[in-house]
Amino acid sequence: MDGKVLTVIIGMMIVTYIPRMLPLAILSRINISKGLLNWLSYVPVAVLSALLAPEILMKDGQLQINLSNTYLLAAIPCFIAGFYSKSIFLTVVTGMVTVVLLDKFI
């Protein structure tokens, strides 16, 4: 097994476990400051958007905002499915099916 992959897995394990564990372990004893909590409340939307935008708006390192970008087109029904179903499963399936259909017909 690759030593780099093992190091990555252990590092990921630690930084994934700590945010899950800390509030349940210490929140009853320590109060996090309101300002930090407010900043943290913006991190999820910020990071998800930072990850998503290049995936659907760029292709091969170039900005691609046009109708030949199937990912961008598929994102539209995906957002609608997410908004109405609030289900990760249904949103993912909608996205995957749309991409397959777009690849077939465009």
Partner 1 sequence: MVRSEIRSELKEGIQAALPVVFGYFPIGMAFGVLAVQSGMTTFEIFLMSLLVYAGSAQFIAAGLLAAQASIGTIVLTTFLVNSRHLLMTASLAPYVRNINAKLLSLLSFWVTDETYAISMGAVVKQQKSKWYFWGLFITSHLAWLSSTVLGSVMGNFIPEPQRFGLDFALPAMFIALLVLQVRHKKAIAVIVISAALSIGIKLNLAGSWNIILATVISATIGVLIDKWMEKSSQSLSA
- Restricting to residues 9-48, name those near partner 1 by CB under 8 A: 9-13, 15-17, 19-25, 27-28, 32, 35, 38-48
Distance CA 72, CA 78 (A): 10
Rule CB under 8 A: is residue 83 a binding residue for partner 1?
A: yes
Rule CB under 8 A: is residue 68 a binding residue for partner 1?
A: no
Choice between 21 and 68, CB closer to partner 1: 21
- Cα–Cα distances in angstroms (integers) from residue 30 to residues 4, 22, 25, in the given order: 36, 10, 10
Choice between 83 and 105, CB closer to partner 1: 83
Helices 88-105, 70-85: axis angle to 10 degrees equals 150
How many CB atoms lie under 10 A from the CB of residue 94? 19
Q: How far is the CB of 76 from partner 1 (least distance, A)?
A: 10
